[in-house]
Amino acid sequence: PFQVVGGKVKKPGKRGRKPAKIDLKAKLERSRQSARECRARKKLRYQYLEELVSSRERAICALREELEMWTQWCMAMDQGKIPSEIKALLTGEEQGKAQQNSTKLAKAGKTEANSSNP
């Protein structure tokens, strides 16, 4: 049961490449190097994940503090007291709006003055 293909005699059985005679020491060294690289990648991955977790924990703490602050402000306003921080925000917004309106009026006055002169 031999086949002749292109002048070569082929034996039935295993297909594909035949394993080359690989030096056992070189193979072991490649395996060790691969394991070292794998451990290094794993270490980096864990460092990245630990940093990510700690940054998220810090963000959670900051958000909890902010939530506590807003809760206290709401409780104070329920009692009829307006926290000084809210007053500052409101007066700051009113001043900002007044400045914006005056700026708009000044610009409008300039454009009207420019359009009246030919």
> What digits encode the pLDDT tens for the residues 39-64?
999 999 999 999 999 999 999 999 99
Residue 21 has pLDDT above 70, yes or no: no
Residue 7 has pLDDT above 60, yes or no: yes
* Cα angle, residue 16 at apex, residues 13 and 18 outer, rounded to 5°: 90
Average pLDDT over every residue of 22-27: 86
The amino acid sitting at 83 is P
- pLDDT one-digit tens code per residue, 74-95: 999 999 888 888 888 888 877 7
Q: Where are the domains of the chain?
A: 24-88
Could you tell me the pTM of the whole model? 0.49
CA 48 to chain centre: 12
The residue among 22 and 67 whose pLDDT is bigger is 67
Average pLDDT over every residue of 18-46: 90
